[in-house]
Structure 1
């Protein structure tokens, strides 16, 4: 039997076949597969419904998510079914409106057969510019479901970013504005569900949006798609996506949990594992309020209060921006040049320079001095690593072995140093080994789906006592393998036996 979801899916797919790949990316919207639409809706409306349910899909597309919610509501037992459904669809693209109207008429027919009153309104406008979104006023009985567009906005020239400035910090993405604007509308007892890229969960750019969500919502459940290709496989979207379910803000009881599930894509949803994690393991309690998806309920960093700063270290980003420094960068060494390190020079636990690729030298002069750093021990790491890398952090202890009084670090590198002081070789080796360990790798993979480890996340990372890091550095040796690192670090952190036992090869 053809269902409402099937009809909406066919309509949406028919529309996307008329678009070029470039047009679809410019719109920033990709249709939700039926399996995932039903998965979102069923968890969203689980349990008894209020008599009057308002269903909002703020970026409707083909209407598949609204159709999935109406299907799920009508499939309930009569005692749990709403008496009235009021559907509100917002869609900016005029070409989709006729099919949405036809879909709503079919929903109305299905509702009448189930003994449920049904009303609908379709607004051919940008939801973020609508009076409803701008009001920020709670709507009783509101159930929001959305797969919003995702694309970056200019916060100074885009009216949507200016009007929703409460959710903007740095470079905004439009999907976070949809999340924040609808969160403000969700009353206690209301429900909210979004499928989006995972990037909102961490990073500075989404901090204001996260704060808005947490002011208005209790996050109840999260589902992570761990494949970057299987969430929107029909559209070939390369994103790690996450589904978030929430309820209108009420007092969070002490000891509350968030249900976390994971799958590769839509095909293995039925076998997805389930965790109940304490809220404090998922949502950070500091000013950044970052979300993570740890695999263990216990925190391996429990009790650690030290950070890079308390240990006297700082992390910075390489100062050499290639296109701005082109007049100083050289292909070959010469009078006054010093080494310039790029991504390709930083391997796991090893600096290899030169490698005869790109321009590996930079002129050290009075004009370029501001972009150079002292040639002294530090930890150098890639800001980005390939998704396929075994560890999220690729870093190495640099002990000052290259020639010159200064060196250049290209902007795609981060480096950890001791400002106003001198990092010892043991400190550098210990820090590099700890950051490349499996325990830190698990932390960063839980924190964000992105392959970037930014300076903010490094500054927030809890560290063991400095003496432990130094001890690791004294034991681990030069150019250690990842197995060797884990062996030494695990022994040092658990302190179950003398660290020297880890030196047995």
Structure 2
């Protein structure tokens, strides 16, 4: 069997195995097969440049062995091949073990034809609880992985064993990344394909710190589509590939690229960026990827909400705690109660008659209600299938009845304490938040579908004059038309700033 056939065959076997699973079971296991083109793309940069006669390759979440096969394929295609390769395949799912044994035989036969001695060790069990993962002993020259994706409790044995990388509720893929960072030999290569959520947020802060203390990030590739990288699996994840090596000098650069999916994978543009522009210098060490859209870089703007005396808060009403005030039907005592489902791009739609969308306004509930005045309201979570990260709308004073209104806890809102947001500011800021420029920026700095207040507080903003100009032009426009208004306004301000 030819080497490329071995990789493709491993993928087909994996897809056949996962298709026998119920969707809920596959999601619970977090098991999704890496397409061969992605596996080869990952392995190309994983092949060590320096010649070594003996190498060890580790896949800690082998699945059907696609990534391992691609890595061995790359090593055996080198002009100077290693004489000896040790391949370690770890897999928890017992149904994959027969497939891995067949793969091992095919790889050994192929290696023999190439004059390479290949030994394969298949370890059936939980990698994170294995002696290998817990030893912190550098054993591998190449580590390549597509780990499972699902959250576990902090009390889970795996989280407790890897507590150095845990804060709050961890996602298991972050533990795989952290554990493998300790297993890499000097000048070794480490490559993972994962969701992008690890790049920011408090839950991954300990994991990032551990990762950056042990590894140097060499390159990153992001997939802009949530669906076009795992083509045969129904998965909605914003994925990225990260390549790293053992700790290097801090002044090195990072290669950053992106593609929509598989079709343009090899045609993506490359950015060569200083490491200190990719990893934020604050305690959380968040990753910040390039944010250019049509030549516009939001990081060039230095203002934030705080500069304009604006504040972002989370909707104060937790529905089950306010149950005695929430009503299915309106009365003389109630005011509108907005859930995130009421918020659309540039519009508030109320009522929708699918929620308990009224709340009693009296002295007892007053603390959880907000003034009926100009503001921007938005969803805290964007639908996974939505192309835009932010769903925001201007709320104009008096649009709904009552002196106050209710905002449910899955919403955020922007207002000016002790002052008024003008209508042009509310419309302009909502249009800016919904725009393609901001969408690209937030996808780069926020790896999940939650829009938290911290991201919004840090979001770079143009001048208030530009926000008001956008607001005077954007009402009633489609998203594509809003994109054109926002990008033209930002480009004009950028030119004026550079000419000054």
Q: Could you state the TM-score of these two structures normalised by the residue count of structure 2? A: 0.87
Q: Where in structure 2 are the equivalents of 1:408-427 lying within 5 Å?
A: 408-419=406-417, 421-427=419-425
Aligned position for 2:306 = 309
Q: Where in structure 2 are the equivalents of 1:408-447 lying within 5 Å?
A: 408-419=406-417, 421-447=419-445
Aligned position for 2:146 = 147
Match status 1:288 vs 2:290? no
> 1:363 deviation in Å?
1.0
Q: SS where residue 332 of structure 2 aligns?
A: coil
Match status 1:91 vs 2:110? no
Q: Does the 8 Å CA contact 1:350/1:479 hold for their aligned counterparts?
A: no
> 1:126 deviation in Å?
0.8
CA shift in 2, pair 1:257/1:477, >3 Å: closer
> Aligned to 2:342, which of 330, 341, 345?
345
CA shift in 2, pair 1:288/1:479, >3 Å: farther
Q: Does the 8 Å CA contact 1:260/1:293 hold for their aligned counterparts?
A: no
Match status 1:258 vs 2:255? yes
CA shift in 2, pair 1:41/1:252, >3 Å: same
Separation in 1 of the partners of 2:494 and 2:12? 60
Separation in 2 of the partners of 1:366 and 1:243? 53
CA RMSD of aligned residues (A): 3.2
> Aligned to 1:375, which of 369, 372, 384?
372
Aligned position for 2:329 = 332
Separation in 2 of the partners of 1:184 and 1:244? 16
> 1:216 deviation in Å?
1.9
CA shift in 2, pair 1:61/1:419, >3 Å: same
> 1:56 deviation in Å?
0.8
> Aligned to 1:12, which of 3, 14, 23?
14
Q: Does the 8 Å CA contact 1:386/1:451 hold for their aligned counterparts?
A: yes
Match status 1:167 vs 2:169? no
> Aligned to 1:75, which of 67, 74, 77?
77
CA shift in 2, pair 1:306/1:136, >3 Å: farther
Aligned position for 1:358 = 355
Q: Does the 8 Å CA contact 1:281/1:299 hold for their aligned counterparts?
A: no
**For each residue in 1:393-421, what CA deviation from the matched residue of structure 2 results, as whole angstroms up to 9, or x when unmatched?**
23233243133332110222111123455
> 1:438 deviation in Å?
3.8
Q: Between Structure 1 and Structure 2, how many residues are aligned?
A: 492
Separation in 1 of the partners of 2:209 and 2:37? 31
Aligned position for 2:129 = 129
* Structure 1 residues not aligned, in runs of 5+: 499-505
Q: Which moved more, 1:124-133 or 1:164-173?
A: 164-173
Aligned position for 1:501 = none
> 1:295 deviation in Å?
5.6
Q: Which moved more, 1:289-298 or 1:432-441?
A: 289-298
Separation in 1 of the partners of 2:43 and 2:276? 26
Separation in 2 of the partners of 1:124 and 1:389? 39
Q: Which moved more, 1:207-216 or 1:94-103?
A: 94-103
Q: Which moved more, 1:96-105 or 1:31-40?
A: 96-105
CA shift in 2, pair 1:230/1:442, >3 Å: closer
Separation in 2 of the partners of 1:231 and 1:474? 37
> Aligned to 1:223, which of 221, 224, 227?
221
Aligned position for 1:234 = 232
CA shift in 2, pair 1:263/1:370, >3 Å: same
**For each residue in 1:174-200, what CA deviation from the matched residue of structure 2 results, as whole angstroms up to 9, or x when unmatched?**
111111111232244110111122322
Q: SS where residue 309 of structure 1 aligns?
A: helix
Separation in 2 of the partners of 1:14 and 1:355? 43
Separation in 2 of the partners of 1:497 and 1:290? 30
> 1:484 deviation in Å?
5.6
> 1:481 deviation in Å?
5.5
Separation in 2 of the partners of 1:261 and 1:188? 28
Q: SS where residue 47 of structure 1 aligns?
A: coil
**For each residue in 1:347-395, what CA deviation from the matched residue of structure 2 results, as whole angstroms up to 9, or x when unmatched?**
3333343444433210123443343223333221122334665643232
CA shift in 2, pair 1:433/1:10, >3 Å: closer
Separation in 2 of the partners of 1:72 and 1:406? 64
CA shift in 2, pair 1:331/1:286, >3 Å: same
**For each residue in 1:87-141, what CA deviation from the matched residue of structure 2 results, as whole angstroms up to 9, or x when unmatched?**
22211223333443343344334334433343333222211112222233434x5
CA shift in 2, pair 1:370/1:187, >3 Å: farther
* Structure 2 residues not aligned, in runs of 5+: none
Separation in 2 of the partners of 1:329 and 1:83? 72
Match status 1:64 vs 2:66? yes
Separation in 2 of the partners of 1:123 and 1:24? 21
CA shift in 2, pair 1:277/1:328, >3 Å: same
Separation in 2 of the partners of 1:33 and 1:480? 39
Separation in 2 of the partners of 1:456 and 1:378? 18
Aligned position for 1:319 = 316
Aligned position for 2:28 = 26
CA shift in 2, pair 1:250/1:496, >3 Å: closer
Separation in 2 of the partners of 1:438 and 1:91? 41
Q: Does the 8 Å CA contact 1:472/1:492 hold for their aligned counterparts?
A: no
